[in-house]
């Protein structure tokens, strides 16, 4: 029997995208299985009844990502 995964959304930072089936790609601060709160980016089903794959970053990883993206130009990357 699979272990139940517990989560608590501490803060919703925002929604990056919504697809036509109602799934959203969200940025949240989440505590997984009673652990420390971390930045989390993943897909959520309508009403958050299902959760997709995503990425969870601790505070050090968030700081590194923020520094890496500081000079990132999305329009230049698509050229």
> What global pTM score does this model have?
0.85
Would the pLDDT of 1 be above 80?
Answer: no
User: Which residue has better confidence, 3 or 70?
Assistant: 70
CA angle, 48 as apex, 26 and 25 as ends, to 5°?
20
* pLDDT digit string, tens, across residues 22-64: 999 999 999 999 999 999 999 999 988 899 999 999 999 999 9
Read off the pLDDT band of 15 (50, 70, 90): very high
How many residues belong to the chain?
79
Domains of the chain: 7-74 (2.30.31.70)
């Amino acid at each position: 029997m699979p272990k139940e995964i517990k989560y608590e959304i501490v803060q919703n930072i925002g929604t990056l995208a919504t697809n036509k089936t109602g799934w959203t790609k969200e940025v949240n601060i989440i505590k997984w299985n009673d652990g420390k709160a971390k930045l989390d980016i993943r897909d959520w089903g309508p009403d958050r009844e299902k959760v997709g794959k995503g990425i969870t970053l601790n505070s050090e990883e968030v700081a590194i990502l923020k520094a890496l993206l500081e000079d990132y130009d999305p329009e230049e990357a698509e050229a």
